[in-house]
Amino acid sequence: MTRFQFPKSIASRPVYGRLTARPGSAHLMVADAEGAEALLDLAAAAPGLMERAHVIYLPKTTGATYARRLETLSPAQLYIGPSYPAAEPRLRKALSDAHMGLQVYLAGTEGLMGQAMREAIEAGIPAGAIQTEHRGSVARRMQCVHCKGITEDVTTDPFVCAHCGLNLFVRDHYSRRMAAFQGVCIDAEDPGDVPPSKELYS
Amino acid sequence: MSAGTRKIDVTVTDVVEVNELVKRFRFERSDGGEMPTFSGGAHTVVEMRDGDVTRLNPYSLMSDPRDRRAFTISVRRDEAGRGGSLYMHRQVRIGDRMVLSYPVNLFALDLRAKKHLMIAGGIGITPFLAQIKQLSATGGRFELHYSVRTAALGSYAGELAGRFPANVHVYHDDQSQVIDLARLLDGQPLGTHLYVCGPKGMIDWVIRTATDHGWPAEAVHYEEFLAPQSGKPFEVTLASTGRVITVGEHQSMLEALEAAGVDAPYLCRGGACGQCETDVVRHEGHFIHRDHWLTDDQKTCGKKIMPCVSRFEGKSLVIDR
C-alpha cells in the first residue's frame, strides 16, 4: 500500500492532498519512489498535461519500476536522478526560469515534498498554491533541535541523531524553512532512560 | 462610539480640481499634531454631516505613507450615487472641520512578492499612488497598467508616467487602447503579485483571466468598495430589545442602525472587511446580499447579513443586535 492516511495532529504538521491538473502555462512535477504513482494517476486523469510537463523523478529504492512507466508518458522534460541534492540545481534552475502560471505538483515522501516546497516558496509561489500528494514511505526528515543536524529517512521513534548521538523524540512540530520535523532529546532529565524504539505509526 | 476605529479631528487645508470629475482634498490635524502612519492601500472613512444625514464614506489614501503632516484623498463625482461624492465636491471648502477615521488597510501590498503588478481603472488609481510612493522609497519592483477614459480624465496619469516612465503604462479608451492582459500575465516572473482596483467589470475580468492563466488566488489582490445601493425600505427588529428600526430607501441597514443609536461594528462600510457581519435570528423574506465577504453557502443559508451593503425584502427580519 503506497497511500497512508496520517492521523490528525497539531496545526504545524503538513497535510497532503491529491494531485489534480490545474490550468497553467507550464507544469513542474517533482516526485520520489512511489510518488511516481501519483504522477501516473495525474497523467491518466488529465490527457495532454504531460506534453507541457517537466518531471524530476528520484526512484530511490524502486529501481526501474516506475522510471520506465514515467518514460512512456513522454513528458516534455524528464530527469531521473539519484538523490534530492543531485536534483536540486535543476529544480532551482527550472523555478528561476519560470513565469507566473507555472503549476507545481509534488508527490512521494514528506522529506522530498518538504524540500521541493521550500524551493518553490523561495521562488515566490504561495505555499497554498503548491499541490502535494503523499505516497510511499512514512519516513521523515528530522532536525535535531540541539545540534541542528538533519537526519534523513527516520522511520523509528525515538531515534539516534546521526550527528550528535542524542536520543531524539519524533515530534509533529514541522519547520517549513528547514523542511524538517523537530527531534527533541527524550532522556534529558534522566540520561539513559530511553523507551524502546517503535516504527512510526505502528 | 466604539464601532469603527478611532477618529481624528481634521481641517481641510487644500481642495484641488484634478479634472472635471475628480477633486483632491488634503486634511491636517486640527490640533496641529501628526497624522498616524499607514501602509499603501489603506483607506480612511470620512464623516460627512450633510444636514440631518451623516454619511460615512471610505476613500483610499493617496498621499505618501511616510508623510505625517496630512492625509490626501481624491474623490470622483458620482451623479448617480447617494450623495457622498456630491457633498464632497459641492460643500467641502478649505478651512472646514471634518472627522476622519484612523487608516485601515484591506488592500495591502504583499511584501513577500518579488514584483508588484498593478492594474488600475479610472479613480481606482488612488490606492496605487500611495503604494507606488511606498515601493519607490523601499526599492520595491512594480509595474502599473492604468486604463483611463481620455487623457484629460486620466487623474495623475501624466505625473506618474513622467516620474516612472519605465514602470507606468497608460491606456486611453478614446484611442481604443486596451490592456493586453493575457500576454501581460503570462510574461510575469515567478513571485509576482497582482493587484487590481477599478470598476467591477475590470476587477472581474482581471480575476477571471488570472485564474484561467494559473495564477494562485493568494497572489491576486483586489479592492472594490461597494457603495450601498438604494432599495425598498424594510424593517429590522433587534433581538436584544425588540426594537423595530426602519431602513429607508436611500439608507443602508448599518446607517439606519447608527441613526437609531445602535453601536454596530464596522470598518470598511463597503462589503469587504467582514467587521459588520451580523447573525440573523429569524427572517421571513429574502436577502439581497451584495458583499464580498460571506461565502455563497453563508449567503444561501440565511443566517448572516452584512448590513453595510446588503438589504432585505419581505415580512420580517430579526437580527442579533
CATH number (2.40.30.10, 3.30.70.270, 3.40.50.150, 3.40.47.10) of B7-105 reads: 2.40.30.10
Q: For the segment A143-189, what is each residue's pLDDT rounded down to a tens digit?
A: 999 999 999 999 999 999 999 999 999 999 999 999 999 999 999 99
* Residue B3: per-residue pLDDT: 61
- Closest-CA residue to B188 (of A124, A166, A167, A45): A124
- Which fold, B115-223? Rossmann fold (3.40.50)
Q: What are phi and psi of B97, to 5 degrees?
A: -95, 135
B24 touches B73 (CB < 8 A) = yes
Percent of chain A clearing pLDDT 70 (strictly above): 100
Which residues in A lie closer than 8 A to residue B189 (C-beta atoms)?
99-100, 124
Q: Are B218 and A129 within 8 A, CB to CB?
A: yes
Please report the DSSP string for B106-126 in residue order.
Answer: SS---TT-SEEEEEEEGGGGH
Amino acid B202 reads M
Helix, coil or strand: residue B163: helix
Q: Are B186 and A101 within 8 A, CB to CB?
A: yes
Residue B188, min C-alpha distance to chain A (Å): 5
Residues in B whose CB is inside 8 Å of some CB of A read 112-114, 185-192, 211-219
Q: Are A100 and B218 within 8 A, CB to CB?
A: no
- Domain spans of chain A? 26-134, 140-199
Residue A117, min C-alpha distance to chain B (Å): 14
Q: Rounded to whole angstroms, how far apart are CA atoms B278 and A163?
A: 56
- The CATH superfamily label for domain B234-319 reads Beta-grasp domain (3.10.20.30)
- List chain B residues with pLDDT less than 70: 1-4
A140 touches A150 (CB < 8 A) = no
Question: Which residues are registered as beta bridge partners of B99?
Answer: B9, B47
Q: Are B186 and A103 within 8 A, CB to CB?
A: no
For CA atoms B140, B145, B151, B152, the dihedral sign is negative
- Over residues A47-61, the mean pLDDT reads 96
* Residue B37: per-residue pLDDT: 94
pTM: 0.89
Q: For the segment B157-187, what is each residue's pLDDT rounded down to a tens digit?
A: 999 999 999 999 999 999 999 999 999 999 9
> Cell 426594537 identifies what position?
B243
Q: Are B214 and A123 within 8 A, CB to CB?
A: no
pLDDT at A1 over 60: no
Percent of chain A clearing pLDDT 90 (strictly above): 97
Q: Are B188 and A99 within 8 A, CB to CB?
A: yes
Q: Are A100 and B214 within 8 A, CB to CB?
A: yes
Torsion angle in degrees (nearest 10) through CA of B139, B145, B149, B153: 10
Choosing among A100, A105, A130, which should be mutated to test the B contact, i.e. which has the most B CBs within 10 A?
A: A100
Going by their DSSP bridges, the two strands A53-58 and A77-80 should be labelled as parallel
Beta strands in B51-185 (DSSP E): 53-60, 71-76, 97-101, 104-105, 115-121, 142-148, 168-172
* Residue B223: per-residue pLDDT: 86
Residue B191, min C-alpha distance to chain A (Å): 4
What does the block give as the cell for B53? 444625514
* Residue A121: per-residue pLDDT: 97
- Closest-CA residue to B46 (of B90, B95, B131, B104): B104
- Domain spans of chain B? 7-105, 115-223, 234-319
Nearest-CB residue to B214 (from A101, A123, A128): A101
Cis peptide before A158 (omega within 30 of 0): yes
Percent of chain B that is helix, strand, coil (3-state, to 5): 20, 35, 45
Which residues in B lie closer than 8 A to residue A103 (C-beta atoms)?
214
* Residue B1: per-residue pLDDT: 43
What does the block give as the cell for A64? 526501474
Domain A26-134 coded CATH 3.40.50.80: yes
Q: Rounded to whole angstroms, how far apart are CA atoms A88 and A112?
A: 10
Which residues in B lie closer than 8 A to residue A25 (C-beta atoms)?
186, 213-214
